[in-house]
Structure 1
Amino acid sequence: MAAQGFRPVYHPAGHDHALRGAVQDLRTGRWVAMARLLDETTGWPGWTRRTQVLAAVAAGTDVVAAWRAEQPDSIAAAVMHSRVAVERAVRAHRAGHARTRELWQEAWTACREAVERAPADPVPWVGRLALSLLDARQSMEEHRLPPPAPMLPPGPWGLLAEAEKRDPYNREAHHRMLQFVYARRPGPLSEAVNYAQWASSAAPVGSALHALPLYVRVERYRRDRGHERALDLHWVAEDAVRDARRAMDAWFLFCATEEASLLDLNHLAHALYGALKFADAARVFESLGPYWTPQPWAYRTALPDERGPAEEVFLRARARCLTAPESRPGT
């Protein structure tokens, strides 16, 4: 796995081969494979993950609209419609597009209709959580409810509770909530740190939420760019090593690779590498196989918006970990 000439592959489906096939069909304008895949998907975690990936691909097309026109009674099509509408609204917000408010309203309506069509599904509630990011002033009452614990900010806690009622410890729901916390107040990340620790501390063994603090640490690193002297110490600090070890011991050792988020795996490999835990990082790199994600590696480069430098950092880290003496069999 550390062979010369290895080049990593980025694919949103990762190890999920069935999802990869549906994505390929979706990119050619066909929806039948997507419909079949979702019909065969069991469990809310897999459903949430697959609909998120499919929506990211479908958002720039009219494939889901064609599916709804062909099968107006399909509940899966209604949920995917809400997914695509949310994805478009969030992208418009990120780009400062003039139609952001219009797309936001369309997405909110689509989520409400999906809740009515699929009352047991967490995804429409996850969609409404994603839309809370657009309400920067927290003007909507559902976006400024009191928190469930001290040291946490007011926010869309009712939406998170609805998603968790349907799928406890839903990974995407908590990541959407973390994004809301980031956007709520620029500056120090104390609220985000508190939120990530609160969410991960309540999660059971095997939950991907144990990786949540790693994302906050990367965000802090990203914001501290320019203070170069402090950056090398960022990953070997006692709390950084502790967060990496907890994610390894409470999540990675129990997760199924084909169901794990590539972003989570990359964040864990990155944290262990930074903490100089090369043997542990090697196990995560091996589980990644041929895949990678540009983040968080891009933030270690001078050009974080370009994929090439990030790939080189990933490759150097991977080679360092896989060739470390303690990573070799029999040592």
Structure 2
Amino acid sequence: MAPDTFRPVYHPAGEDTELRSALQDLRTGRWLSMRNLLEATADWALWTQRTQVLAAVAAGSDTVQTWRAEEPDSAAATVMHCRVAVERALRAHRDAHRHTQDLWHEAWEACRAAAHRSPEDPVPWVCLLALARLDEGQRLDEHRMAPPGPMLFPGPWGLLAQADKRDPHNREAYHRMLQFVYARRTGAHLSEAVNFVQWASSSAPLGSPLKVLPLYVRVERYRRENGQEKALDLHWVTDDAARDGRLALHDWFDVAHTTTRTLLDLSHLAHALWGALQFADAARVFEALGPFYTTLPWAYRTPDPGDPALAEEVFLRARARCLAAARDAGPGPGPAAGPYG
């Protein structure tokens, strides 16, 4: 399709056609497809991702409650109940709802019940990590444990360790930990976030999505500094920014299995490489996105991050620029040229 006629598609399931089908049924109040999909999901990383996407839709209905009533012994239904309860508590907190405290308590109980029901599942612990950000003053003991290394902060490290034990380097668990850092009431959020993602990404194996974590912090810093309002924006072309993009490209994108690459990670990598003027490399990532895109991080490059049309416009402009550069450059040297060739 020609660049001028291309229009990206936003869908939380991305290329996961089975998940798309289950979401379609879920929106009409039917739960059998969700049940069957989860029963067929044996990989913890995919299980974590699918339950998260399903919960975002299920939180607006009583479908999971109906499923639990029909199949009270279902471990998957118990985990999905935990997911939905956490999603509702997080939304209530975001909207400053007066029942946030009650929803938080209900979600915490649901997480503990799911952890007891499915002791090998990382998701209940990931959900407890998600709830930790609601404890902004770190009043609970489990949210202010001593860190595992220098330059890190007191936090819910025990919860992260539980998720890690069940699914090492679980993507969502580390992203939830990063969100906890942002919610901390200290004046050093971003420096703590930088230390955390460097620690996490450096200890993760090749192909791990944690290799992309530094790009998220770089976007968050850009957002907080209102980078799009500066007449001369050098945020993305510094040596450090370019290095973060190259490392994510070669240590994650080039070696990770395509089925494990999330749209959000791909979008952050394409955005970083485009911003660093590494257009040919960025083109490879845009190609991997296929017809899909995510609003973030492109929205932060606009004067109104709440307008999805502006985010799409930036995405399309960046994509066209990078694909054109790749066509002009012709065939590359291929993987044999070395990681930075």
Tell whether 2:195 aligns with 1:194. Answer: yes
Aligned residue pair count: 331
Q: Is the 8 A contact 2:137 2:185 kept in 1?
A: no
Change (3 A) 1:231 1:119: farther
Does the CA contact (< 8 Å) of 2:136 and 2:185 recur in 1? no
Q: Give the conservation status (yes or no) of the 8 Å contact 2:228–2:303.
A: no
Aligned positions of 1:167-182 closer than 5 A: 167-182=167-182
Deviations 1:48-69 (A, max 9, x none): 0000000011001111000000
Alignment of 1:251-330 (within 5 A): 251-325=252-326, 329-330=330-331
Q: CA deviation at 1:42?
A: 1.3
Residue 237 of structure 2 corresponds to which residue in structure 1?
Answer: 236
Percent identity (aligned): 67
Residue 44 of structure 1 pairs with residue 48 of structure 2? no
Query: By how many angstroms is 1:186 displaced?
Result: 5.3
Q: Is the 8 A contact 2:229 2:303 kept in 1?
A: no
**1:269, 1:281 within 8 Å by CA — same for their partners in 2?**
yes
1:185 and 2:185 aligned = yes
User: Matches of 1:76 and 1:117 in 2, distance apart?
Assistant: 10
Letter in 1 for 2:315: F
Contact conserved, 1:200 with 1:212, CA < 8 A, in 2?
Answer: yes
Aligned to 1:154: 154
Distance 2:185 2:232 in 1: 23
Q: Distance in 1 between matches of 2:151 and 2:326?
A: 43
- Which deviates the most, 91-100 or 317-326? 317-326
Q: Which residue type is aligned with residue 299 of structure 1?
A: Y
**What letter corresponds to residue 200 of structure 2 in structure 1?**
A
Aligned partners of 1:257, 1:266: CA distance in 2, in Å?
14
Q: In 1, distance between residues paired with 2:162 and 2:215?
A: 25
Shift of 1:306: 1.1
- Per the alignment, residue 223 of structure 1 pairs with 224
**Helix, strand or coil: the match of 1:251?**
helix
2:107 is aligned with 1:88: no
> Is the 8 Å Cα contact of residues 178 and 192 (structure 1) preserved in structure 2?
yes
CA 1:162 to 1:327, structure 2 compared with 1: closer, same or farther past 3 Å?
farther
- Amino acid corresponding to residue 241 of structure 2 in structure 1: A
Is contact 2:228–2:302 with CA below 8 Å preserved after alignment?
A: no
SS in 1 for 2:164: helix
Shift of 1:82: 0.2
- Cα offset for 1:185? 3.4
The answer for the alignment partner of 1:56 in structure 2 is 56
Distance 1:117 1:325 in 2: 51
Q: What's the offset of the Cα at 1:229? A: 3.4
- Cα deviation for residue 230 of structure 1 reads 7.2
Kindly state the Cα deviation for residue 330 of structure 1 after the two structures are TM-superposed. 3.5
Q: Give yes or no for contact 2:142–2:156 (8 Å, CA) kept in 1.
A: yes
Residues 255, 62 of structure 1: alpha-carbon distance in 2 compared, 3 angstrom cutoff: same
Distance apart, 1:161 and its partner CA: 0.2
Amino acid at match of 1:180: F
Q: How does 1:11-90 map to 2 (within 5 A)?
A: 11-90=11-90
Q: Which runs of 5+ in 2 are unaligned?
A: 333-341
Partner of 1:129: 129
- Cα RMSD of the aligned pairs, angstroms, is 1.4
TM norm structure 2: 0.94
Alpha-carbon spacing, 1:274–1:2, altered in 2? closer, same or farther (3 Å): farther
8 Å CA contact retained: 1:2, 1:323: no
The verdict on how the C-alpha distance between 1:196 and 1:59 changes in structure 2, with shifts beyond 3 A counting, is same
